[in-house]
Amino acid sequence: MPTSPPALLVVHADDLGMRFGGGHPLDLRRHRLAVALCREAGILDAPGVVVEDAPGPLDDDALTRVFAPAFVRAARRYSADPALAAEWEARQWGFDQDLPAYAGMHEDSARGCAAAAAAARAVGEGRARRAFVPAAGSHHGLANRAWGFAVYNETAVAVRALLDAGAERVAYVDLDVHHGNGTQWMFYEDPRVLTLSVHETGRHLFPGSGFAGETGGTGAPGSAVNVALPPFAGDDAYRMALARVVVPVLTAFRPEVIVSQNGVDHHHADPLSHLLTTMPLYPDLWRGLREVADAVAGGRWVALGGGGYDPCTAPPRAWALLAAEMAGVAVADPVPDAWRARALADGCPSPARGWTEDPGPAPDPDRDRRAAEGSAAAIEETLAAIGRFYGMGTGSRAATPPSATSAVHADPSHQRSS
């Protein structure tokens, strides 16, 4: 008798991820502690949950399905001899002080890509309903350039793996505080792929893109949707973006599968942004994604990690809560003592006792009022920009399938870095 595919496939290895060292913001404790919390809370032992070791690096044939062969060769060259990255040519490939070359970086990044591809293929081929890779989620890299904190764009690899598995409509939802620029530009002319990003405005934060007028290329009008929130936006702004933009657009697009990048670097304690979300937001976001995936994509959902640079605060609990939502597991306070002991041993000074315990940002009514007004205006700007494609005017919640008759084109060459 045939067995049902797992409800949730978790692809993981504790040593997965980039190893920059030297105080670099990318700290592997983020995903290690998330998976440890999943394990201690019993999420990984729930019925229908399967944990799979991350595979070895994605081979060059698979990488060049997504990235330019010359770029892959350059990344291999600097990975084999990092001293060569001091030459000026390395800058054109994106290797700089934010992304310093080190021995083995190609293999580390290609391993993250392999994990993302394995998760996507499992869902695309019907071998799992949902899949989660907490250590993946890089989203800035372009087809011919490293960008952000990884050599290769893992989210783009997941999307490509689903297309190669036969999917004809893939939605990519990016909730990281930084615009998912690489994935947007790589699929900007592909009408099969919707990219939808909610982030802090590029006027104040890297990578300097993701404005409402970026709505897809001439061959794919309406295929990009951006909500650019102002500094100091918080929980209500993300909830409003989910309700008024993300869910209606996904409902109209009706993807066969959803890929989500679930960065939590918009948390108020994060050192790399200006947004002020709190832990109680994250279960609402994950529930919203699960419900819309169930409603429009048959539950098919590939979730990746993403940003989050205070490794002891938001990422471990937020991503464990994401795994719990995907697995259909209810969790309750307190978090397991064994996990708190592990976090203390890993250098976290005061591990939280509650799943959504959070003191929140310091109160500032004037700041919060201005952020609320700016967030509402940003969402209205997005609705105005995508109205021609989805029948969503400002103040409207209605949505209809996108039109193929017009587009607002944003030139990727006009991107600004900060």
CA 287 to chain CA centroid, Å, is 16
Instruction: Give CA angle at 243 (34, 219), nearest 5°.
Output: 95
Q: Between β-strands 193-200 and 224-229, what pairing exists: parallel, antiparallel or unpaired? A: parallel
**CA nearest 417: which of 112, 66, 97, 196?**
97
The beta strand positions in 123-274, using DSSP E, are: 130-133, 170-174, 193-200, 224-229, 257-261
Angle formed by the axes of helices 29-40 and 337-345, to 10°? Answer: 160
Q: Find the catalytic residue in 31, 106, 139, 140.
A: 140
**Active site includes 409?**
no
Ranges of H-type helices in 125-246 = 154-164, 181-186, 235-241
Residue 54 CA to residue 41 CA, distance in Å, equals 21
The tokens describing 109, both together, are 């990044």
Please, are residues 62 and 110 in contact by the beta-carbon 8 Å criterion?
A: no
The tokens describing 9, both together, are 């496939």
Strand order of the sheet with strand 130-133? 49-53, 8-12, 130-133, 301-304, 257-261, 170-174, 193-200, 224-229
Catalytic residues: 140
